[in-house]
């Protein structure tokens, strides 16, 4: 009888999936996720560009940029701030031309500010421009860049700085540091116009890309490969998810695992320098049962099924002819060293 009992009892030994294979599987899944998310992001951006609200906002924004004098706007609607445009095209412009364009840009902005924001704002910008140029510390080889002998600010004839230096050290910094800030703070509605595209990015383009890519990479394949709930990466490396009984985990528990990973690890990792991912990977490497954070919370294991099949239930094992015992099968977990 003892011999018969021994024959009836079958032990199935599973091994924890090797750490390097789990890392490679996760890395492959993330690469697929990143590629798909980037493609979806570009698609969402193109869709957004064709909406009436986006086009209306873009038209108003480009109009402000062009009229302000602070941007170079191409016929196709692309724009570049005037300092970057002149610096990028330095081979096309002499120092004298760059200085002239910069001075014209500042004067155009002053007129634009007067028209759009009124005399008080204009006076504020003009005073800042005057004070900026007449700053006593604003010198070149101990000679001030600007003087005001008759009450009107002008370039100092005694200053040895050439046109290129005046552009680089005087006019370009004023445009970048002051005019651009005044454009946002003084021109009515311009700040909201610039924020519109950021809101579309944050609330439409990025969520669409993240949600769809995440579902297609981390949720759909495991729901199709329900026995081991394997993603594409884990399917290639033959890594399955088992519960504490060493049977295939239920769909409900897998969905809880997906939620922990998708919202608690992946999403937070994208905005916190990958800290949750680092913690989870560290737990995979050093915890007693080599479980990631989500698996630790839910009592799940990532097991190597390259040489052993993962079963959904004890009944399935009996039907497969592995055991005819009335008592549940004894499973054994063997961790790889």
Tokens of 174: 């004023």
The alpha helices in the chain, defined as continuous H runs, are 2-8, 19-49, 52-68, 82-88, 95-117, 119-133, 163-166, 172-174, 180-186, 190-200, 206-214, 220-224, 232-236, 251-259, 267-271, 275-286, 293-298, 314-319
Q: Hunting for tokens 């090797």 — which residue is that?
A: 18
Within 10 Å of residue 145's Cβ, how many Cβ atoms? 19
Tokens of 31: 């690469």
pLDDT at 53: 94
pLDDT at 2: 39
Instruction: Specify whether the CB–CB gap between 328 and 13 falls below 8 A.
Output: no
pLDDT at 150: 87
Buried b / exposed e over 32-53, threshold 16 CB at 10 Å, is bbeebbeebbeebbeebeeeee
pLDDT at 3: 46
DSSP code for 303: E
Instruction: Give the separation between CA 296 and CA 147, rounded to whole angstroms.
Output: 72
Q: Which parts of the chain sit beneath pLDDT 70?
A: 1-12, 89-90, 321-331, 334-337
pLDDT at 11: 64
CA distances from 191 to 74, 181, 194 (A): 22, 10, 5
pLDDT at 164: 95
Q: In the beta sheet, which residues pair with residue 248?
A: 242
Instruction: Specify whether the CB–CB gap between 228 and 280 falls below 8 A.
Output: no
| 214-261 residue pLDDT tens | 999 999 999 999 899 999 999 999 999 999 888 999 999 999 999 999
């Amino acid at each position: 009888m003892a011999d018969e009992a021994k024959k009836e009892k079958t032990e199935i030994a599973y091994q924890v999936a090797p750490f390097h294979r789990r890392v490679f599987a996760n890395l492959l899944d993330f690469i697929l996720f990143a590629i798909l998310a980037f493609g979806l992001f570009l698609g969402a951006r193109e869709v957004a560009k064709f909406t009436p609200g986006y086009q209306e906002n873009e038209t108003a924004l480009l109009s402000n940029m062009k009229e302000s004098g602070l941007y170079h706007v191409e016929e196709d609607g692309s724009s570049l701030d005037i300092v970057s445009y002149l610096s990028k095209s330095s081979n096309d412009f002499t120092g004298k031309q760059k200085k002239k364009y910069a001075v014209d840009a500042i004067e155009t902005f002053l007129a634009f500010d007067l028209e759009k924001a009124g005399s008080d704002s204009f006076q504020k910008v003009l005073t800042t421009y005057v004070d900026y140029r007449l700053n006593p510390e604003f010198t070149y080889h101990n000679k001030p860049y600007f003087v005001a002998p008759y009450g009107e600010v002008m370039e100092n004839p005694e200053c040895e700085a050439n046109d290129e230096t005046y552009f680089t050290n005087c006019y370009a910094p004023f445009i970048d540091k002051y005019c651009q800030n005044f454009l946002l703070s003084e021109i009515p509605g311009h700040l909201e116009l610039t924020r519109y595209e950021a809101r579309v990015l944050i609330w439409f383009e990025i969520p669409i890309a993240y949600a769809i890519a995440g579902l297609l990479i981390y949720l759909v394949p495991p729901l199709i490969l329900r026995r081991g709930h394997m993603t594409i990466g884990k399917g290639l490396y033959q890594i399955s998810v088992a519960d504490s009984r060493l049977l295939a985990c239920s769909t409900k528990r897998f969905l809880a695992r997906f939620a922990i990973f998708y919202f608690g690890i992946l999403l937070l990792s994208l905005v916190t320098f990958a800290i949750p991912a680092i913690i989870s990977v560290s737990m995979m490497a050093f915890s007693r049962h080599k479980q990631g954070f989500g698996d630790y919370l839910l009592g799940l294991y990532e097991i190597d099924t390259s040489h052993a099949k993962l079963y959904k239930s004890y009944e399935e094992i009996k039907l497969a002819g592995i055991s005819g015992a009335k008592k549940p099968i004894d499973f054994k977990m063997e961790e790889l060293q």
